[in-house]
Chain A
Amino acid sequence: MTFHNILIMRHELLLTIVMLLVLIIDLFATGNNRKLIIPIALILFLTVTAIGFLPAQYGQLFGGMYITSGTTILMKNVLNIAVFIILLQSVAWLKLEENKQKLAEYFVLILSTLIGMNFMISSGDFLMLYIGLETATIPLAALAAYTHHQTKSAEAGIKLILSSALSSGIMLYGISMVYGTTGSVSFAEVALQWGNAPLQMLAFLFFFAGMAFKISLVPFHLWTADVYEGAPVNVTSYLSVVSKGSAAFVLMLVLFRVFPSIVEHWQKVLYAIAVLTMTVGNLFALRQQNLKRFLAFSSIAQAGFILLGIIGASPLGMSTVIFFVLAYVFTNLAAFGVISAVSSATGKENMADYNGLYQTNPKLSLLLMLALFSLAGIPPVAGFFGKFFLFASAASKGFYWLVFIAVVNATVSLYYYLLPVKAMFINKNEQPVPTFRSDFYMKAGLLLAAAGTLAVGMLSIGYEYIASFSYGLQ
């Protein structure tokens, strides 16, 4: 292995460097200097994100344990964009008195989970996948408990770590059975030997349950609402966008790479889980009052839609999933951005608090409306095209009933997505949230998310770009 080859791991290496730099700067920072970490970390991360788009070398390392291809680079870039926006939106909250002392921790934790996710995406081997998964999960629990003096946040951290320990255990059990039946943990090797013996089916389902936990598919979703509600808003948005998106990518890659031989079987599993996830997510979302909880269930329902892209097992499906996640990144970050702005300015997170928001904060209200329209799938914003392509890819493989159920669910979801809009624009409130101004970082973050939501919908370039990378599943 030469130095030249190691550049195949460009994304992970750069992120590790940034993480270490932030850690070192934090060691030497004192008092007011500590604030400088924010712009430095942001600039470093922006550079890394930009470098990600430069042409890269494809290939394998460590005897196939690590793989880089056009698809994985694209997925990592999508995640980087999302993380950048989240970091921008976190600044106001990090500057609060209670968080100031440990703000470097936030960056380090976020970056280390992101590194774990990148390794998951690039893994060519169950072992690497598992290590990536744990690297991604454990710091997340720390992040959820970031404001640990608040009971809810501490509770979220504990619930996340306990639940994920269980799911990791089951997943690891599945992986051990994979090794037991095939004598290998390498994706390529396992794919060659995989059949549909009951033990192998069992192994697959155990592995799948572990991934389903990460994507919070029903019935493995119960942790989601409590953790989302308890964690700080920015961590919630990280969980619902980056963590979920990366897990969806990984599930898709593994299904396509390792289990093509039992495609009819996993299609049935996905079918059942997709129907359950969309429906249950919607049913719970209908009644939520806390906006974070509301978005948690909405994100469960959205994960059900993602399965429609995966289930077709086609290149078209693959590019539609990446496109959907991109649209979902911008849209959800616009929504979470507004909630984060309101929450860090006033501490309010309930739907009733948003009554009459348009009177006092018209721009934020319009932005949240845009995001909710996109989540509901109203053209011409990003979410519409995301759903449209997913439905089209599932329909093109003949899953008409599934698409029908998805359409019904999308219609139901329109109801609850419009509830906050009604609250902001129509409901009267004697004491609405007072007018406040957001700082530069928050504005930039919101603007990026809004621009992305509009641009991904209206310009076809994004979709063409994604499609050009995703064909050919390596």
Chain B
Amino acid sequence: MTNYSYTLLIPLIPLAIFLITGLAGHKFKPIVSGLTGTMGLTIAAFLSYTTAIRYFFIDGPANGMYPQIKAVSTVWLRFTDTLHIDLGILIDPISVMMLVVVTTVSLMAHIYSLGYMKGERGFARFYSFLSLFSFSMLGLVLATNIFQMYIFWELVGVSSFLLIGFYYEKPSAVAASKKAFIVTRFADLGFLIGILMLSFTTNTFDFITLTSTSGPIIAAPAGAAFVGISVVSWALILVFIGGAGKSAMFPLHIWLPDAMEGPTPVSALIHAATMVVAGVYLVARLFPAYALAAPDALHVVAWVGGFSSLFAAVIAITQIDIKRVLAFSTMSQIGYMMMALGVSGYGDHEGLGYMASMFHLFTHAMFKALLFLGAGSIIHAVHSNNMTDMGGLRKYLPITHITFLIACLTIAGIPPLSGFWSKDEILAAALHHNPALFAIGIGVAGLTAFYMFRLYYNVFWGQERHYHHTPHESPLVMTIPLMFLAFAAVFSGFLPFSHLVTSDLKTFETHTDLAVAIPSVLIALVGIGVATVMYRKPNSLPDRVSSSIKGLYTASFRKFWIDEVYQFVTKKIIFSGVSRPIAWFDRHVIDDTMNAVGWLVVTTSERIKGFQSGQVQQYAAVFVSSVVLLVLVFVYLFSN
């Protein structure tokens, strides 16, 4: 078996860079931090690619199965012989795939930011945070056990918080970072309780044991049922809540649109390609447990995914901030991935949904990062996020235009671009499992094509606006990542995923199902067609359509008032109904008790100061009388 222990370097390089640039960054010119970060990520990416090539293509499956290798593993905290928190590195198909995704997108974001963030205050700080994020995310995907994943999960949350709030002088950025942190932290509580329940019933944190078909969950499900659902299912549902928080699934999605306050490369890296798919990755990590021991939990995953995907697509149609359109699109696509996991079975061709989900995760990372970086290039040119300030930009931004168009076609699912292949597998899996979810999937495909081309036409076609200065194409350092990602978006669909990443580590054959492919392409074309008619040239059609369905339009534009619902529940019900009385109790009863205790301690301490007189004869007297007292108490009272 190949020795993969060098993979330890992949997370450690960004960590080292974070420490160096974070602690000593102010001593160099900012650009040094940027270049160091980029260099480090280049090495990490190179090592990841080497690992992927060795793992998938040189070593390949042994006896028809991909091995799960613990490249590094040390016990960090031992509770019992089976229950211990390890820190280590797990090499298996999904972790290797995620290595490639994370390092690629992170490297692109690093290079791109050299241009995008140029001249910003805190350039070095930005790069040290990026390295921290890369380290955390890599640690998360390589985790050998669920607790290690939780540790890195929180680190990812912290680095996301730091990056969203990067412009900390802007109140909206601060509010957004707090919102993201609190909402995901709230969901993580579910994750933590889920971990505790899982480890309590199974006595292990280890992923390989948890997902082994002969392991404690699957072969011998233990624990009583609660409300007709087994403990394992409850635990896995709670774990999924954590995943849903990070992956912005309904109703925990409210932080994602606001997170767009962060610098755009951050949105591309964290809020499109890597961190937000952590939830999908988490479910995939534990997939055999979900599929074999807790099918009811998997239904929850499927419906939450399907609903979120539709819900977000409807909202994306009416947004005018281009980054928010992309944010909702991300939520919708992640909903797709969750749905695919939810409809999947275990093993062989049954596991089509699992494979499709991972496939889509991969292709989506490429084209969504491309879309965000493209959006960044547009914002860089016109200094606004709003579609209403854009139009006719195709003349000024030729490279951005072409790459953005490729990305739009890819996400719309036009063959032979990568999005088509992965989406096709998802829809095939959904059709196989549940026609209703298939219908949602098809509907979302049409909506996706429509809102992406609405965005595309509004930005690059339509009416040219009055610009303060003529928009110009971004520098090469920004357009090269665009071109690279465009290349990946076009060709990554040809990767034989069913031979690489499968639910049971064995390979299987897939074929394109025309009954799925034809309707999905047709509806995508319809979506594009409608968008072309409405937005290619300035006309009154969009206004007429929106006024004819005014209620629905407003609902979608206001994101179905979910934020307001949260505001109402937290401010009106929880704060005034629950928190105020508790605060009163705290201030008057608890504080006063504590003050009394404090006063007592201080007074006692003052009174007994006299014992410490400094006179050695008194010390001796105390010593002897203490011995006598001890003897009196213990010899005459207790011994018999």
Contacts and interface: CB of A to CB of B under 8 A. Distances in A.
Interface in A257-295: 265, 268-269, 272, 280, 283-284, 286-287
Given A286-B601, A412-B601, A460-B78, A163 B634 contact: no
A225 B612 contact: yes
Interface string B597-614: 000011011101101101
Contacts of B639: 196-198, 201, 265
B75 interface: yes
A163 B635 contact: no
Given A287-B606, A460-B76, A460-B78, A223 B619 contact: yes
Contacts of A196: 639-640
Contacts of A197: 639
A209 B630 CA distance: 9
A130 B394 CA distance: 93
B630 A198 contact: no
A265 B605 contact: no
A188 interface: no
B623 A167 contact: yes
A158 B616 contact: yes
A220 interface: yes
Q: Which of A167, A205, A284 has the most CB of B within 10 A?
A: A205
Given A222-B611, A460-B76, A464-B75, A202 B620 contact: no
A426 interface: no
A314 to B, nearest CB: 16
Given A198-B635, A205-B630, A460-B76, A220 B601 contact: no
Nearest to A222: B619
A373 B631 CA distance: 38
Interface string A149-176: 0000000001100110011001000000
B1 interface: no
B622 interface: yes
A202 to B, nearest CB: 6
A159 B616 contact: yes
Contacts of B75: 460, 464
Given A265-B639, A269-B634, A287-B606, A220 B626 contact: yes
A268 B630 CA distance: 11
A439 B426 CA distance: 67
A219 B76 contact: no
A206 interface: yes
B601 A219 contact: no
Contact of A163 (B602, B608, B616): B616
Contacts of B620: 162-163, 166
A105 interface: no
Contact of A220 (B78, B609, B623): B623
Contacts of B541: none
B634 A265 contact: yes
B635 A284 contact: no
A238 interface: no
Interface residues of A, number: 36
B623 A163 contact: yes
A89 to B, nearest CB: 25
Interface string B59-82: 000000000000000111110000
Interface string A201-235: 11001101100010000011011011000000000
Given A163-B619, A205-B635, A286-B602, A269 B78 contact: no
B545 interface: no
A206 B623 CA distance: 11
Nearest to B636: A198
Nearest to A167: B623
A158 B74 CA distance: 52
A130 B626 CA distance: 22
Contacts of B631: 201-202, 205
Given A201-B635, A209-B626, A460-B76, A284 B605 contact: yes
Contacts of B219: none
A137 to B, nearest CB: 15
B637 to A, nearest CB: 10
Given A287-B606, A412-B601, A226 B623 contact: no
Q: Which of B608, B622, B631 has the most CB of A within 10 A?
A: B631
B28 interface: no
Contacts of B226: none
B638 A268 contact: yes
B451 to A, nearest CB: 46
B627 interface: yes
Q: Which of B75, B606, B611, B630 has the most CB of A within 10 A?
A: B630
A265 B639 CA distance: 8
Interface string B12-23: 000000000000
Nearest to A213: B623
Contacts of A460: 74-78
B497 to A, nearest CB: 39
Contact of B627 (A162, A170, A268, A461): A170
Interface in B253-279: none
Given A205-B634, A284-B612, A286-B605, A219 B626 contact: yes
Given A201-B634, A287-B605, A209 B616 contact: no
Contacts of B630: 205, 208-209, 269
Contact of B623 (A219, A283, A284): A219
Contacts of B614: 226
Nearest to B602: A286
Q: Which of B622, B623, B638 has the most CB of A within 10 A?
A: B623
Given A283-B604, A284-B605, A222 B634 contact: no
B605 to A, nearest CB: 4
B525 to A, nearest CB: 57
A205 B627 contact: yes
B354 to A, nearest CB: 35
Contacts of B619: 159, 163, 222-223
B638 A265 contact: yes
Given A222-B622, A460-B76, A202 B608 contact: no
Interface in A329-388: none
Contacts of A205: 627, 630-631, 634-635
A158 B616 CA distance: 9
Contact of A283 (B601, B634, B635, B640): B601
Nearest to B613: A222
B608 A283 contact: yes
Contacts of B601: 283, 286, 412
A60 B619 CA distance: 39
Interface in B565-603: 601-602
Nearest to A412: B601
B612 A222 contact: yes
A158 B108 CA distance: 72
Nearest to A287: B605
Contacts of B633: 272
Contact of B605 (A163, A219, A283): A283
Q: Which of A167, A222, A272, A280 has the most CB of B within 10 A?
A: A222
Contacts of B74: 460-461
A357 to B, nearest CB: 21
Contacts of B623: 163, 166-167, 170, 209, 213, 219-220, 222
A206 B627 contact: yes
The 6 closest A-B pairs by CB, nearest first: A219-B626, A222-B619, A283-B605, A201-B635, A209-B627, A201-B639
Interface of B: 74-78, 601-602, 604-606, 608-609, 611-612, 614, 616, 618-620, 622-624, 626-627, 630-631, 633-636, 638-640
28 contacts: A158-B616, A159-B616, A162-B616, A163-B620, A163-B623, A166-B623, A166-B624, A167-B623, A170-B623, A196-B639, A201-B631, A201-B635, A205-B627, A213-B623, A220-B623, A222-B612, A223-B616, A223-B619, A225-B612, A265-B639, A269-B634, A283-B604, A283-B605, A284-B608, A284-B612, A286-B601, A287-B605, A461-B74
Given A209-B630, A226-B614, A268-B638, 4 more contacts: A196-B639, A269-B630, A412-B601, A461-B74
